[in-house]
Amino acid sequence: MLVQQRTIKESVTLSGVGLHTGTQCTMTFRPAPIDFGIRFRRIDLGGNPEIPAIVDHVVDISRGTTIGIGEAKVHTVEHVLAAVAGLQIDNIQIDLDGIEPPIGDGSAKPYVDALQKAGFEIQDAPKDYLVIDQTIGYKNEEKGVEIVALPTDDFRVTVMVDYNNPALGSQHTGLFDLEKEFVSEYSMCRTFCFLHEVEVLRDAGLIKGGNLDNAIVIVDRELSEKELKDLASKLGVKDSVILGKNGVVNNRQLHFKNEPARHKLLDLIGDLALIGAPLKAQILAARPGHANNVEFARKVRKLYQQKKIIKKYQHEKKAGVVFDVNALQRILPHRFPFLLVDKIVDFQPNEKIVGVKNVTFNENFFQGHFPGAPVMPGVLIIEGMAQAGGILLLDGSEENDGKLVYFLGINNAKFRKTVGPGDQLVYEVTMMYRKSKVCQVQGKAYVDGAIVAEAELLATIVDRPGKKPSQ
């Protein structure tokens, strides 16, 4: 696998019609700087809005993956992303003067050919691999879908498809060396659908640009002469349509016997690019599709964001510790005697955090609260919850760097047991909701597994005094 980031040497353009929207589009791949990532830009819209290719911006998965921000959208990005990811390109800008990339022949090959023509340029920065060091699983019981990421030191993908349809049967395929196999074994594998789906897709307003030159149509039922003529009309085919003896409409030859399974693997690579980082993992997928690929990508991206944040603040690995006290001081503005969290032991950005505070007799508040009967003030327990909650708000975005978190309200506060010297407080804080710069968290504090205090905390995120407000 490549070690350094790379982009393309020069711009390259291709044009054509979109598969689902049927609209004409010219697309240009452009070189991009280090850490730019993959971004689509709608140059036909005012302001030329950019859409980073990350799963947070997926807005639709109707027979394809659509990303968007506000009114700006790009349909069916998976084949383009598969080409970019398959060629191990880290930084690239993709300009479009329409809403959907040209479909070409229904595979990633046209994009691969264009990118190879542009050439590649190694950049002076290491690749930001997401190394999977734990099993990550996703299941959709209803659809029979299962996708798993397993630890390994390279990138491998295995896909199995089984639609309980005799026209296709069960197929499987595996890619074990991206650099050696992607272009020659997978990039040319075309999108496909079943014969019975054509009318349904057309009626749903999809495949407006679909025809027998950019999709494989698998025969799964008999059609009358009239139905064949209607099918030809729906596909915009002037010549006759025949039910191929090889199981494919018009006897179109497959590149591989298991081309449908290979195309599903291609789609999966494209959708996994939405994680925002190249993977070192073994991916096993049973019956994958865009909707489930995207949900799996969301799950893996959360791990990526978590690791990215931890790497930023925690400079020394410690078993069982996410953030130690040194990392906490890089994150929080609090200092002695008001830093009331010693370490973070679990951190799931925007979801949940668990912090620990070891309460000792040396705490300065015990001098007056109370002499001879030391009790930790309940408001300080809530303050400890709030500090842990402030860390929970970290999402890896630069716009939240150097911010302060202020209380707006404390609701349903309850104190159930006293806390004194020798106790270890465990704060468990979960996100209730977050909108713009306002959020609400649920905090609970435990000692020896028993709850000692709880509260709902409402807070706002503000700029530090003296810091220029973020735009």
Tell me which residues are annotated as active site. 290, 369
Judge whether 112 and 3 are in contact, CB under 8 Å.
no
Q: SS3 for 4?
A: strand
Half-sphere exposure of 330 (CA within 13 A, CB side): 14
Helices then strands, each counted (H, E), the chain: 9, 24
Backbone angle region of 397, left / alpha / beta, with phi > 0 → left and psi within -120 to 50 → alpha? beta
Residue 166: what residue type? P
Let me know the angle formed at the C-alpha of 442 by 438 and 447, rounded to the nearest 5 degrees: 145
> What is the distance between the alpha carbons of residues 313 and 76, in angstroms, rounded to a whole number?
37
**What are the residues facing 248 on neighbouring strands?**
218
Residue 280: what residue type? K
Residue 350's contacts (CB-CB under 8 Å, 6 or more residues apart) are: 392, 393, 395, 431, 434
**What are the residues facing 453 on neighbouring strands?**
415, 445
Residue 400: what residue type? N
